[in-house]
Amino acid sequence: MKLNVVEGIKSIKTYVPGKPVGELEREYGISESVKLASNENPCGPSPLAVKAVQDELSRMNRYPDGSACELTGRLAGKFNVKPENIVIGNGSDDLISLLAHAFLPPGSEALMPFPSFLMYEISVMSAGALPVKVPLNGFSIDLSTLADHITDKTAMVFLTNPNNPTGSWFSIEEFNEFIKKLPDHVLVIADEAYIEFAGDTKIFNSLARPLSDKRVISLRTFSKAYGLAGLRIGYGVMAPEIADILHRIRQPFNVNALAQTAAAAALEDEGHLEKSLEIIHKGVDFLQKELTAMGLETYPTQANFFLVDVKTDAAQVFKALLEQGVIVRAMGSYGFNTCLRVNAGLETENLRFIAALKKVLA
Ligand SMILES: *Cc1c(COP(=O)(O)O)cnc(C)c1O
């Protein structure tokens, strides 16, 4: 029998996530490994979120609240918008996919910086549309180059701020210039998965501007600063007309009950967020200083991770680090053959990484 696969899907390359720690440890015969590869919060989830999940567990025979009413209300309050402006997703990956399926007619184009988040391309192709990858200018997203690539076919532009995997960022002025050149029919997805880490006050923060421009959709996640990556929950803030379309096509129970209750609790625990940010900022500073002292080049970041140029084949360094029980990300598939992406861990984890890297590069 011949499988009739929907146009475009066969050219999608399967996303290869970092291996789970347990599997790597078995494969390499190591233990107590350190994972600085997926930009997670090393401080763990908020204890309030853990407690909320424990309290919710005995109700898991029930379907979750399909409209995530409580969390939606809290987010609306936090950002001073209406509940109608918010859509919760099974991770922001879910929202990226919903947006692509709802707003990319077959044959239309979606612009995205490259390298950037791999899920954009996968979602765009699975919607039957065409990803147009616009190279970074060095390590940063160049909004004026992106604007130059807009055509009549462009239906959507993905912007990642700060960008993954480079940690680079763009300012509110750059964004405003970009918006001026944007045709009326183009949607802008501002993916701000790492915005909580950003310290530069000039950085473009889509939720700090008035929500009057319907073309701008903000995506946020509980996976990074809020430490809930394993539960899968993210959200989008957008015009009610856009939200209404996403609600029509999303799964009615796309966000599970544990994730909803954990996210609502995590949002209230500002102390845990602040403490996490402090530890992570210290971690980034420490790592960058140590690496610079080793004669390596690190790149500026507003996120909880950064690129370091190890000045030799990073894939080999990555493997040698694995054997030392330290997991980071090699950037060859992103076109940076001599770079590793490392996120800040706890102090002990950062020390382990530096010691292992010194050994590997010696
Ligand atoms: C991690 C990340 C996300 C978040 O994905 P979730 O599905 O919410 O876990 C979104 N965008 C970028 C750029 C990321 O790095």
In the chain, the largest separation of any two C-alpha atoms, in whole Å, equals: 61
Q: Which atom of ligand 1 is nearest to the CA of 116?
A: 13
Residue whose CA is closest, atom 15 of ligand 1?
A: 164
- Pairing state between β 326-327 and 34-35: parallel
- Ligand 1 pocket, 343 CB below 6 A? no
Residue whose CA is closest, atom 7 of ligand 1?
A: 91
Strand partners, 157: 111, 188
CB-based contacts of 188, cutoff 8 Å, min separation 6: 156, 157, 159, 179, 182, 215, 216, 217
pLDDT in tens, the chain (362 residues): 888 888 788 888 888 777 788 888 898 888 889 999 999 999 999 999 999 999 999 999 999 999 999 999 999 999 999 999 999 999 999 999 999 999 999 999 999 999 999 999 999 999 999 999 999 999 999 999 999 999 999 999 999 999 999 999 999 999 999 999 999 999 999 999 999 999 998 999 999 876 678 999 999 999 999 999 999 999 999 999 999 999 999 999 999 999 999 999 999 999 999 999 999 999 999 999 999 999 999 999 999 999 999 999 999 999 999 999 999 999 998 999 999 999 999 999 999 999 999 999 99
What spacing in Å lies between the alpha carbon of 234 and ligand 1's midpoint? 8
What spacing in Å lies between the alpha carbon of 273 and ligand 1's midpoint? 18
From 195, 176, 179, 174, select the one nearest 237 (Cα to Cα).
Answer: 195
In angstroms, the CA 63 to CA 59 distance is 9
CB-based contacts of 14, cutoff 8 Å, min separation 6: none
- Ligand 1 pocket, 193 CB below 6 A? yes
- Ligand 1 pocket, 218 CB below 6 A? no
> Can you give the three-state secondary structure of 57-105, one letter per residue?
HHHCCCCCCCCCHHHHHHHHHHHCCCHHHEEEECCHHHHHHHHHHHHCC
Residue whose CA is closest, atom 14 of ligand 1?
A: 193
Residue whose CA is closest, atom 2 of ligand 1?
A: 193
Q: Which atom of ligand 1 is nearest to the CA of 38?
A: 1
Task: Give me the helix-helix angle, 347-361 and 314-323, nearest 10°.
Answer: 120
To test ligand 1's pocket by mutation, which of 224, 334, 343 has the most ligand atoms within 8 angstroms of CB? 224
- Ligand 1 pocket, 117 CB below 6 A? yes
pLDDT of residue 211: 62
Q: Which atom of ligand 1 is nearest to the CA of 232?
A: 9
pTM attached to this predicted model = 0.96
- Ligand 1 pocket, 164 CB below 6 A? yes
Q: Which atom of ligand 1 is nearest to the CA of 191?
A: 11
What spacing in Å lies between the alpha carbon of 119 and ligand 1's midpoint? 8
What spacing in Å lies between the alpha carbon of 49 and ligand 1's midpoint? 20
**pLDDT tens by residue, 210-252:** 667 899 999 999 999 999 999 999 999 999 999 999 999 999 9
- Ligand 1 pocket, 93 CB below 6 A? yes
Residue whose CA is closest, atom 11 of ligand 1?
A: 193
Q: What are phi and psi of 342, to 5 degrees?
A: -130, 135
**pLDDT tens by residue, 225-234:** 999 999 999 9
- Ligand 1 pocket, 91 CB below 6 A? yes
**pLDDT tens by residue, 311-323:** 999 999 999 999 9
C-alpha distances (whole Å) from 244 to each of 64, 71, 87 are 20, 17, 9
pLDDT of residue 213: 86
